[in-house]
Each structure stands twice: as structure tokens, then as C-alpha cells.
Structure 1
């Protein structure tokens, strides 16, 4: 899977490729390096560097076992960091922090309460 973007946030296509255990070559933009664990589970190239992109793709083509290892590592990271259980946990933590900071709606801590 190749993601030669110049600008991204956290692309859904990247997460789908990770869950599908595809070897990944992607531009180091946005949260892509975070998702790919700074290159530990996929190859990162500088944005706009077509020679680096071609070199990384060729590396995976001539090293199929490395490509397979990266794909499986990406799948494991996706399951651990972006699976439904982890996402529910993150939202619960976020709501907990917001409630601790702002309080229940209508409570004395609510800045909109009268």
C-alpha cells in the first residue's frame, strides 16, 4: 500500500491497509508517523520525494519477507491502537477528563450554568 501524500491527518485508508496486514510505504506527514510507530511497522519517506518513494517500494518488492513482516506488524499495531475496544477506551478517558474539568451539565462547574 502506498500513501504518497503531501498533507494528511490520520487517513482512514492507512488504517484499513494496516488492519488488512498490507506492507505500507507512506509520506511522513500528519499523524502517519504516529500510526506507523515512526517507521517500525511501515516505511516512511519524505513528502514529495519520488525517488525515496520508488526506493522504498522497490525494497518491499525485492524483500517479500520484510514486506510480510511489516504487514503483520502493522496489523498488530492497528488492532492494539485503533481497534474498537481501544477507541471506546480513549473516548471514555476523554469524557472523564472533560467532566473532571467542566463538571456535569448544569452543575456549579459548568460555565454555562446560571
Structure 2
């Protein structure tokens, strides 16, 4: 749990370490990533486009799996939902990541959610 500026600094350092050699992060499923089928099987859809549309809809995030595995980005050992995210490695390969709620928000906005940030700033 990130409760103060010290916790936030540790979190940012962990994300920096976890993202070493990666760039151009994006949260969500990727058509070119076989790992994303762990979240939603393609054979349940008529086409890749239908599958991508289904996993891109906001309600789909309610189906993500709970996991006790570390987040692939911040490496925190907190149990929770894990969401798909992707980045390019230095050798221009797409890298699949399973990330926590905090890292999804951090990938998209470069900071944590407003409630957490307000708590940290107090």
C-alpha cells in the first residue's frame, strides 16, 4: 500500500527498475500477443477484430484474473488483479506484462490515481 511520499518514491524506483530496457508502454490486450489469450480466448470470437473489440471494452476488465504473483512492473508482492500491458524492448520486440491496478494507472497517466496522490501529498 502506498501511503506517503516515501512509499511513492520506493514505488517509482521499483517501476523504473522493472521497466529497464522497455519503452512505449500500453495497457490492455494486444492482437499480436499470444499471452493475451490467457485473459480471453480468441476461439470464442468470429474474428481477431471481434476479439480485440471485446477485450478493449471497459467491462472486460471486470474479468481479469486475481493473482498472488508479483506485478511484472513494480514487483510488489501484493495479491490482486493482474491486467495485460505491453512495451517494446530495446531489440524492438513486444514484451507482455501482467501488471497491478496501480501500474495500469501509472502507465496511462504517469502517476497514481488522484485519491492516492491526495493522500501522499498530505
Where on the TM-score scale, by shorter chain, does this alignment land: which range? under 0.3
Compare CA radii of gyration and give the structure with the larger one: 1
TM norm structure 1: 0.25
TM norm structure 2: 0.24
- Structure with more contact order per residue of length (Cα contacts < 8 Å, sep ≥ 6): 2
Please state which structure has a larger fraction of its residues in helix.
Answer: 1
